[in-house]
């Protein structure tokens, strides 16, 4: 997925090549220009593991490379930072680290202390501007940092100790990389002299996270901290956003030093690969393809979240219907008449119909994920494909486009909008016949569900929540059936309302992500729509919600099963239950575990609802109650997420009927 670049990037004003930049792996990293410096990126000092960074030092350190690469410009400071230390006053490395965070504008961190990170926490207590929201598990901390970043657009910061503290961040880092979330993770490490000795709570976290971070650092010189932190934030937020890890040995945290805040960033390789602004000729070519098409469709993803205004204007000028990926929900209002809602495995029939029958697919800020495309050869097989993305590695990776632009979607949309405005009379775009064809599909195959007696359809619960919040809540989810229903039945109106683990599909994401969203948006309604399986994976974060007095609402769709796996069992394994029942087999008539008691243990009001007739009042009570609230909604386990295109299938394989009450 593409994303808008950081405002701190300065693009060259020289005309760019007519070709997109050569594909660079998303794991291509910037490296230090000085191999003699003791700080290391992706250090090779652990357990004799040879670092890939060392093998290319000779190439990166040639005179030509150094002299011809543009140096990055520092972000402009709007106001002078006032340090609590005198300029020539020595202070601990941990204090330098915390001040570096302050200078980046950090106001909140999600940090859990341990032996190797104690110095950082002590320094945090001396900061008057940074608030630590204490999670009850490091995974809760990294997911909360993600929720903060996803809902605000600002980088999320999490801090953990060495060893198991650091490894508990792994799922969150992988999640942030796959979903392009700006994240800076700081870990404590054993003292430098003990690295590689199997010291207590030592883990080579730089090696562990090499392939699941955009970049990482092992700090080996206290004087490098200001530069490394500035680089970490720049890398995390520029280009295609992602997670950056900074590993800081304890003796570095304790060492006294006088910081140099004027150090320049050293990212020549990274800066040389930054995309240039899109060429006018490419944008005019795309507009020409639009004017020649009869059945165009927009396929927009998470890369459009920072470009919703420009996307809205583009749709206004062209009248092209919009299908969104799971990550792109909210980039275009779901309740608009030109919205086709979500496409893909559990997307609407009419969105998938539009792609199947289109003659032009405008793929903006997307990566042609398998959950969208199904069988690649059959996906949009009738269409010319235009792919715009900021990550050159994504262009042509899964589907070869007819026209590609490697660049910022926001800039591309601005450029195309200008062309469309200037040529409106000449172009006279009219796709009314195509829209009418799609409206027939909307009427024929609406998103729907069935009701059985007094049982509560989970889709109805989300529909009611949408109605009672006027579609304005920030929604986080775990992973599974409830996640797909939340994507289908809540009508997102703006970007950053929808927070969900898309690429990684990490259960346990919803509750801590809601914490981060509530911290970043204290005046917003924040609701974690969760399943009983996902919820219990990070249930300990109820304590954080209570202590921090966060008004997080939890709509728990409780069907006592691992719902999505159970659905596949029903469809493809003759309903043979293979450890997907989450209740107590000895007491199947009882709800187990009792989620209300988890809430009670943390002093959070909670209620259970079992009948459809009582649901509206129960949700309204949840929303009206000040502070946090848990509503345990008991749902039948036989419900299936529909529509469904089986994995590797095509539009012709779409399933629109049936549930767990039927034998297959």
Active site residues: 138, 200-201, 250, 564
Beta bridge partners of 207: none
CB atoms within 10 A of CB 63: 7
Measured in residues, the chain has a length of 664
Please tell me the distance from the alpha carbon of residue 461 to that of residue 17, in angstroms, as a whole number. Answer: 52
CB atoms within 10 A of CB 433: 9
CA–CA distances in Å: residue 405 to residues 172, 307, 325, 398, 412 = 30, 16, 20, 16, 8
List the one residue out of 237, 238, 270 whose CA is nearest residue 69: 270
Beta bridge partners of 529: 477, 555
CA–CA distances in Å: residue 296 to residues 3, 286, 301, 359, 435 = 23, 12, 17, 6, 10
Q: Does residue 289 contact residue 360 with C-beta atoms inside 8 Å? A: yes
DSSP state of 49: P
Quick one: residue 262, left, alpha or beta (phi over 0 = left, psi -120 to 50 = alpha)?
A: alpha
Peptide bond into 593 cis (omega under 30): yes
Of all helices (H) and strands (E), which one includes residue 646? Answer: none
Beta bridge partners of 632: 556, 608
CA–CA distances in Å: residue 199 to residues 34, 47, 192, 347 = 29, 12, 11, 50
**How open is the CA angle 334-394-294, to the nearest 5 degrees?**
50
């Amino acid at each position: 997925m593409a994303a808008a670049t950081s405002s701190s990037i300065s693009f060259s004003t020289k005309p760019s090549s007519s070709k997109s930049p050569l594909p660079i792996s998303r794991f291509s990293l910037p490296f230090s220009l000085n191999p003699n410096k003791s700080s290391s990126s992706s250090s090779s000092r652990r357990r004799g593991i040879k670092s890939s960074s060392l093998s290319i030092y000779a190439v990166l350190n040639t005179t030509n490379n150094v002299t011809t690469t543009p140096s990055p410009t520092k972000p402009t400071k709007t106001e002078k930072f006032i340090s609590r230390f005198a300029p020539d006053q020595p202070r601990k490395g941990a204090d330098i680290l915390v001040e570096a965070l302050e200078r980046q504008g950090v106001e909140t961190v999600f940090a859990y202390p341990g032996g190797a990170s104690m110095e950082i926490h002590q320094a945090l207590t001396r900061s008057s501007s940074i608030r630590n929201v204490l999670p009850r598990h490091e995974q809760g901390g990294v997911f909360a940092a993600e929720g903060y970043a996803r809902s605000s657009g600002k980088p999320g910061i999490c801090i953990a100790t060495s060893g198991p503290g650091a490894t508990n961040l792994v799922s969150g880092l992988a999640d942030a990389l796959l979903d392009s979330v700006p994240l800076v993770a700081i870990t404590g490490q054993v003292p430098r002299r003990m690295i590689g000795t199997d010291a207590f709570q030592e883990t080579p976290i730089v090696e562990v996270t090499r392939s699941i971070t955009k970049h990482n650092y092992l700090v080996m010189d206290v004087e490098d901290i200001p530069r490394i932190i500035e680089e970490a934030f720049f890398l995390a937020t520029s280009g295609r956003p992602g997670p950056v890890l900074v590993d800081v040995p304890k003796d570095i945290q304790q060492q006294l030093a006088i910081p140099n805040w004027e150090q320049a960033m050293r990212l020549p390789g990274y800066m040389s690969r930054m995309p240039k602004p899109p060429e006018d000729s490419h944008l005019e070519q795309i507009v020409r393809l639009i004017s020649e098409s009869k059945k165009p469709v927009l396929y927009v993803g998470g890369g459009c979240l920072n470009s919703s205004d420009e996307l809205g204007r583009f749709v206004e000028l062209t009248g092209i219907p919009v299908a969104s990926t799971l990550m792109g929900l909210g980039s275009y209002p779901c309740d608009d008449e030109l919205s086709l809602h979500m496409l893909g495995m559990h997307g609407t029939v009419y969105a998938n119909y539009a792609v199947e029958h289109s003659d032009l697919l405008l793929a903006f800020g997307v990566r042609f994920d398998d959950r969208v495309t199904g069988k690649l050869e059959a996906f949009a097989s009738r269409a010319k494909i235009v792919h715009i993305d900021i990550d050159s590695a994504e262009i042509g990776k899964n589907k070869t486009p007819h026209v590609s632009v490697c660049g910022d979607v926001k800039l591309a949309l601005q450029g195309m909008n200008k062309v469309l405005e200037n040529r409106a009379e000449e172009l006279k775009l009219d796709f009314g016949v195509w829209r009418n064809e799609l409206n027939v599909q909307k009427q024929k195959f609406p998103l729907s569900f069935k009701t059985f007696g007094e049982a509560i359809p989970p889709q109805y619960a989300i529909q009611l929540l949408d109605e009672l919040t006027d579609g304005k809540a920030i929604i986080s989810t775990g992973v599974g059936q409830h996640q797909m229903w939340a994507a289908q039945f809540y009508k997102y109106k703006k970007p950053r309302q929808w927070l969900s683990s898309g690429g990684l599909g990490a259960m346990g994401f919803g509750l801590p992500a809601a914490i981060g969203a509530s911290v970043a948006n204290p005046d917003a309604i924040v609701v974690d729509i969760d399943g009983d399986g996902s919820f219990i994976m990070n249930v300990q974060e109820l304590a954080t919600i209570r202590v921090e007095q966060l008004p997080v609402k939890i709509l728990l769709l409780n069907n006592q099963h691992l719902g999505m796996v159970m659905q596949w069992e029903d469809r493809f394994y003759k309903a043979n239950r293979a450890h997907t029942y989450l209740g107590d087999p000895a007491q199947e008539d009882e709800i187990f575990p009792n989620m209300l008691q988890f809430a009670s243990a943390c002093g959070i009001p909670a209620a259970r609802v079992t009948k459809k007739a009582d649901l509206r009042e129960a949700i309204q009570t949840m929303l009206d109650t000040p502070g946090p609230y848990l509503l345990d909604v008991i749902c039948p386990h036989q419900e299936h997420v529909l529509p469904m295109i089986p994995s590797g299938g095509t539009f012709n394989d779409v399933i629109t009927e049936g549930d767990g009450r039927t034998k297959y």
